[in-house]
Chain A
Amino acid sequence: MRSWRRNRETSLEAELRASRPEPSSELVHRLEARVHQDGRRARGGVRVAFVSAIAVAMLTALGSTGGFSYAATGAGQAVAKARRIVHVHGVTQVHKSAARDQYSKPRKKCRKGTRRVHGKCTKIKKAKGARFRKPPFTG
């Protein structure tokens, strides 16, 4: 009963609600635009702060676990790999090979009593001191 009384709205109350002053649409639009403009500015600031906080947290985590050197090594390896893939090889010339030795220009023989040292024929020096002799024939 009491709640029914409380909920019952008199005609005067209904009239007060119905005829309450309304703002002009111009005022509503102006204030709405003002509020939204402020909200956009605030949201932009919050976004920047959030991204900065995430970046700082990531850097701290990486620094504490030695992630920087790991990342640097990884980056270095990646660069080396990429360089190897991208690099264009020229024609390889083999300067010293069995074939080259075999078909090269024949060298001149050194005269008797000389030998080749560093590509030049030089005289053989006789060793000083006691000479080695053949053992005598004993039959």
Chain B
Amino acid sequence: MFRVDPLANPEPLIRRVYSYVAYRVGDGPDAEDITSETFERALRYKKSYDSRKGEPAAWLIGIARRCIEGRPISLELSSEHLETADHRDLEEDTLRGIALSAAVGRLEERDRELIALRYGADLTARQIAALQGAKTNAIEVALHRALGRLRAHLEGGEAAPVRKSQAGR
């Protein structure tokens, strides 16, 4: 009867959408642009939100996915971060975070998408399954495998490939 405003509390939603987008396309201006575009679209189509179908975060992530698909952006993480990571003044945590980002960037598209949805957007396996039209169990297994591959990348310590979109900057 009464419509629920999906953007009633926007701040945590902005953070979740940005984290998801940044895990997909890399932290930076591209992620900011896509996040802004996502919220512009969300405001335009706010009336189409149906609270029975899912939480506002899942709805926004669905919009963000379409925004990313509509952009010709290479989804590999930048080596800029690793270059800056060589400086001695950076703390170990920061270095570890950068290495983690680089490892996520080296994952395949599907694995990176799952990692972004689970740990960036903070969606549950059930919500991811609903978003991708898959079974919850299948998503859990896929996530487990993606984490295994990410761990292997981190332990292997391969150099991160340069992002196509950012290499030209």
> A7 contacts the other chain (Cβ, under 8 Å)?
no
Find the A residue at minimum CB distance from B18: A23
B119 touches A13 (CB 8 A): yes
Evaluate whether A32 and B119 lie within 8 angstroms (CB atoms) in the complex, with A21-B23, A27-B32, A27-B35 already known: no
- Report the separation of the CA atoms of residues A21 and B27 in the bound assembly, to the nearest whole angstrom: 6
Closest CB in chain A relative to B79 CB, distance in Å: 16
Chain B residue nearest to A16 (CB atoms) is B119
Contact of B35 among A13, A19, A23, A39 (CB under 8 A): A23
Q: Tell me the dominant secondary structure on chain A's binding face.
A: helix
A134 CB, min distance to chain B CBs, angstroms:
109
Beyond A15-B100, A16-B119, whether A31 also contacts B22 by CB under 8 A is no
Bound together, the chains give a CA A39 to CA B9 distance in angstroms of 11
Contact yes or no, B14 A20, CB < 8 A: no
Q: Is the CB of B119 within 8 A of A21?
A: no
Q: Could you say which of B7, B11, B147 contacts A13, with CB atoms under 8 Å apart?
A: B147
Residues of chain A lying within 8 A (CB to CB) of residue B31: 21, 23
A27 in complex: contacting residue of B36, B43, B46, B100, CB < 8 Å: B36
Within 8 A of B (CB), among A25-69: 27-28, 30-32, 34-36, 38-39, 42
Contact yes or no, A32 B19, CB < 8 A: no
Chain A nearest CB, measured from B138 CB (Å): 15
Query: Is A24 among interface residues, defined by CB-CB distance under 8 A?
Result: yes
- On whether the beta carbons of B39 and A31 are closer than 8 Å, the reply is yes
Interface residues of B (CB under 8 A from A): 5, 7-8, 10-11, 14-15, 18-19, 22-23, 27, 31-32, 35-36, 39-40, 43, 46, 93, 96-97, 100-101, 104, 115, 119-120, 122, 147, 150-151, 154
Chain A to chain B contacts (Cβ below 8 Å), 30 pairs: A13-B147, A16-B104, A16-B115, A16-B119, A17-B119, A18-B97, A19-B93, A19-B97, A20-B22, A20-B120, A21-B27, A21-B31, A21-B101, A21-B120, A23-B35, A24-B32, A27-B14, A30-B36, A31-B10, A31-B14, A31-B36, A32-B11, A32-B14, A34-B39, A35-B7, A35-B10, A35-B39, A36-B10, A39-B5, A39-B7
